[in-house]
Amino acid sequence: MAHDLALICDGCSKPITDDAGYLWVDNREVSRTEHAFRKWEAEHTDAIDGSLSFTGGAIFDIPEKVRWQVHHATCDPAPDASSYDIPATKIRSWAELLEWTAHLMEKSWLTHTDWQDILRGVHTSDRRLVTVA
Ligand SMILES: [Zn+2]
């Protein structure tokens, strides 16, 4: 299969060329953020008509999205963290990226992560998932 994409390690900034690493998100961070978001939502929901209402400033209190991280197993700062992993060997083509995206879209928690930035990053300065020439 063609290799269109490569993961770049957050730790050593080198590409992950074989099965020595992964793209991952911390499950506990995700559930913490999900919880904080529900709380924020509840605090800003109108008790009468159930609509979301908030003033400009409150938008900054929305919990920040959990960042997907990229690491070689040997560079991983939290190897024992409970995590959702995508092995580097399984996300090397556009087709695979599309498949993962479709798969992740079925997860209720995806919205609390920065997967959009991973997708956008392929063509911007985000250096987690890059195109290979
Ligand atoms: Zn590394």
Domain map (residue ranges) of the chain: 5-34+65-131
What's the 71 CA to ligand 1 centre distance in angstroms?
Answer: 5
Both tokens of residue 100? 């993962």
Residue 115 CA neighbour count, 13 Å, CB half: 21
Using CA atoms, how far apart are residues 92 and 17, in angstroms rounded to an integer?
10
**Per-residue confidence (pLDDT) for residue 56, from 0 to 100:** 80
pLDDT in tens, 102-129: 999 999 999 999 999 999 988 888 889 9
This prediction's pTM? 0.88
What's the 29 CA to ligand 1 centre distance in angstroms?
Answer: 22
pLDDT in tens, 35-45: 999 999 999 88
What's the 111 CA to ligand 1 centre distance in angstroms?
Answer: 27
What's the 27 CA to ligand 1 centre distance in angstroms?
Answer: 21
Residue 69 backbone zone (phi > 0: left; psi -120 to 50: alpha; other: beta): beta
pLDDT in tens, 35-86: 999 999 999 888 888 888 887 888 888 889 999 999 999 999 999 999 999 9
**Per-residue confidence (pLDDT) for residue 13, from 0 to 100:** 96
